[in-house]
Each structure stands twice: as structure tokens, then as C-alpha cells.
Structure 1
């Protein structure tokens, strides 16, 4: 079997009769002479947990920023619940809430935990301070961090900062009364954490996915345990293109050479290692 014959394996989707939550069609992005994404097509159905994997610099985080509306593609179309997005997130509101958990937590050092978690409500709602404080307490309790509202990020461990960023991503505005599906985007949520802290974060992601109404997410990760414990479907990227996609259950059996090399940590294969 040639590389081209196994280059892309797309399993039947259990969501074929539903409307996609997210569709990327022909997405390309170039920075200078570096073609980061090259005509990428990706569909995410309601309730899916999708891991974006591949070597560093192959466009995974760029996809997240494009989906979040923080970065515009050079070409291609983005559809959210069937509606085509025009411009960036500040140009027009998406029909669903999209939250993002950044790789380094991206907390404001000069703000307390409570002010970090409630930041979007302070900026974008007319809620009184007392109500925002109660909502932030609820969000922090959800991620297992009660009673830390008045601490500052510098007083927290790396794992705690990650969980604070989760609370910020999922906090809800009660003034928005229309129920909306939610898409969460995780950029390397377990990067730099020890195995025990990683397990805590992985369990939290699954808990949010299963029990907290944030039923759909995309997660960028290099960590084997995070891929296996948090994702249902895997999308493998290399040089800006999708080389394979399939369920987590097939990552140990697929003959795809990119997947085999990635999970075996081999230096020989189609993924060339930079010297």
C-alpha cells in the first residue's frame, strides 16, 4: 500500500444526519513564505471531542485561532451551525459561544483570580459586581478551586492556573437567555504539567464535556495520555495538510505512516526531523 493510498482515512460519522457545528472549507494561511495551512477541510459535529495532533509548526494552533475568530484565513470559508462567518469575532457575533483555553493560561498577572475569571462579564455585561463574584465562585468550584478568588496568578501552581483558565472559558452570562451549544478550544492544556497534574486536567476536560453543557471541543496536544483520555476522534496534520483522521481506537492499528511515526516517536518516516 502506498503512502498516498493511506494518506487520508475518514471513518463514517455517527452524526451524518445532524447539522455540523463547525465546518472549515479550503482553509489556507501563510505567514511570509511559510504555508502554515494548505486547503484544510474539517467538519466537527455536535458532541464531538476532536484532537488535533502533529509535529510542532504544522498549523494546529493556527486552526484554533481561526476557529475562535482571532485570526482570518487567507482563503477558504468558515461555517458555524451552517452560517458563514464574515470577518473576525469583533466584526460579527457567532451563533454559538466559543471559548478558548490558551496554552499558557493567559491570565492577567495584575488581576485577582476572581477578576480574571469574570473578565468577560465585567467587560461585556451590565451585571452588578456582587453577581459577577458569585458567578466566578461557581465557575471556580466547578473546576475544583473554591475559595481562591482573592489570590493572584503568581500564587498558583501551573495546574491551578490551567484550571482558572478553564473557569474563565466556561463562565456563563445569565443575561443571555437563549440556550446555545458551546464549542471549547484547548491549546496544549497539559503542556508543562507533571503526569498527576495532567491527569487532573484530562479528567476535568472530560467532566466539562460530559456534565457541564460544553459538549463539543477541539484540543491541540502532543501528549499521548491527553490524546487517548480526552478525544474521541483524532486529526493528524503535517505541513499544513490533514494526513489522517479517525477514531482514537484506531491510532494503534492504522497503517498510516504519519500516525505510526508520531506515536512511535521514530526519527525515520515521512515526518522529517529538523537538525
Structure 2
């Protein structure tokens, strides 16, 4: 059995009177591709932000490679680096692609501009975007902006090996994309895991059936603040769990409450 790289134990989080996570447990193992699925508003993105150290739980414990995290990522460094790809790409509109991808190195390294540019070009080539470094985000398609955000997430400082991400977190990476662009992104996620050796472990939040089936090894279903089901991609079509049956059939009748 692979070693746990991230563990959430009894994690709770509320926003005002809205309890999003209710003593939730979740484990991400070394080398696996985990999909976190469930209806909208059930805390999937919240879990990613807690894992990334961008949000602190109200209760419960977060362990990163066996070490308990106290507070946020800015309070104390984790034993490994965690990269995150946000749903809307979250690029700086006033910066070029090169400046976006190399942002952290420009801000927090002693590397020369030419060295950073070379590293940026390497990462852009990995995501299939050679030659777009001088463009601005507004000049790119939605799928291209997503790939730029991937390149930024896997950027690391060669003078500090610990900066290389050991885990990548993807928040709805194919949201708003057409089926062909979605396939490009799905293939890229697997390529970054299996072919380039960039990062072998990731968690992905998604609603999209093709993305779940193409990018996940294991699936956890989050509903009412807890993990209600887990299994492999193959288990989707044979599960007798009514939550899974309703979610993948799109049926409005079932245990999942339809809002509105």
C-alpha cells in the first residue's frame, strides 16, 4: 500500500451558519490520482484550499507527509511543496504569459531574467504552448489559459529542489471548455503525472464525467460535509450506492437534494 502523503482527519469548516465540511476524513496517497466529486456547494473546492494551506479548518487535523500543519501555509513551511491550478486560471491580465509562469521566480529567486525565461520556455513546451511567452492572457483561448496556469503550477526553482511540487491540486480544470479542449486538458493532466515526471500525485475537483473517467484512479464522493463513498473509476458503473447512481445519471429524483 502506498504511503499517505496528505491526510485530513475530522476536518470541519463553516462559513457563517453554512457548515461546508463536517468532521470529514480524506487521504491522498503517494502516486495516486484522486478525484473529489459531488454536487455543487458541498465543499470540494474548500477541501482543496485546506490541503493547499490557503484556508484553515475550524476543527480537525491536516497532515502533510506525516507532519501536522499548524495554521496556514504562510505560517510555517510544509515538508513538501503543493501546487494549485485554480478554476479560472487566475492569471495576471497585465503580465505576459512568460511573466505569469515565471512570477514566483521573478519575485523570490536570485536567477537572472535569461535563466527564468529558459525555465519558462521549458514549462510552456511541456504543456504544448511553445512560442506564446510574449502574449497576454486576453490573447489566449480558455483552454490555452488553463495550460498556462498548469505551467505556472509546475514551475520550480532549480536552486531549491524543495520548491518542486510533490502534489498538484486541480480545481475544475475543464470547467467551461468544449469537449475537444477538455480532452486536451485531461490528456495533459495525465501526461504531467506519467510521462514528464513532474508530479506523480494529484487531487482533482470536477463535475465532468469525461474528466473523472480520464484523470482519476480513485474517486471520493463528498456530500453533506463528509465523504459518503469511495471507489475506482470502474466502480462507478457497478455501484449500488444511490448517491452515485443519481449523480452520474443526472436524475433529479434521489437522495441528493436539488437546490432551486
| Normalised-by-shorter TM-score class | over 0.9
- Provide the residue aligned with 1:227 in structure 2: 212
Change (3 A) 1:167 1:180: closer
Matches within 5 A, 1:17-96: 18-96=2-80
Deviates more, 1:234-243 or 1:222-231: 234-243
Q: Structure 2: where are the runs of 5+ without partners?
A: none
Using the alignment, how far apart are the partners of 1:178 and 1:199 within structure 2?
31
User: Residues 62-96 of structure 1, C-alpha deviation per residue, up to 9 Å, x if partnerless?
Assistant: 00000000000000101111011111111111111
Using the alignment, how far apart are the partners of 2:155 and 2:162 within structure 1?
15
Matches within 5 A, 1:138-149: 138-149=122-133
Is the Cα–Cα contact under 8 Å of residues 24 and 76 in structure 1 kept in the other structure?
yes
Determine if the alignment matches structure 1 residue 203 to structure 2 residue 203. Answer: no
SS across alignment from 1:99: strand
The normalised TM-score by structure 1 is: 0.92
Aligned length: 259
SS across alignment from 2:237: coil
- Provide the residue aligned with 2:200 in structure 1: 215
1:124, distance to aligned residue in structure 2 (A) = 1.7
- Provide the residue aligned with 1:172 in structure 2: 156
- Provide the residue aligned with 1:268 in structure 2: 253
Using the alignment, how far apart are the partners of 1:198 and 1:123 within structure 2?
32
Is the Cα–Cα contact under 8 Å of residues 52 and 237 in structure 1 kept in the other structure?
yes
User: Residues 168-188 of structure 1, C-alpha deviation per residue, up to 9 Å, x if partnerless?
Assistant: 000121011359661000000
Q: What RMSD, in angstroms, separates the aligned Cα atoms of the two structures?
A: 1.1
Identify which of 233, 238, 244 aligns with 2:223: 238
Instruction: Give the 4+ runs in structure 1 shifted more than 2 A.
Output: 177-181
Is the Cα–Cα contact under 8 Å of residues 181 and 215 in structure 1 kept in the other structure?
no
Is the Cα–Cα contact under 8 Å of residues 37 and 221 in structure 2 kept in the other structure?
yes
- Provide the residue aligned with 2:83 in structure 1: 99
Q: Structure 1: where are the runs of 5+ without partners?
A: 1-14
Using the alignment, how far apart are the partners of 1:251 and 1:33 within structure 2?
33
Using the alignment, how far apart are the partners of 2:162 and 2:243 within structure 1?
43
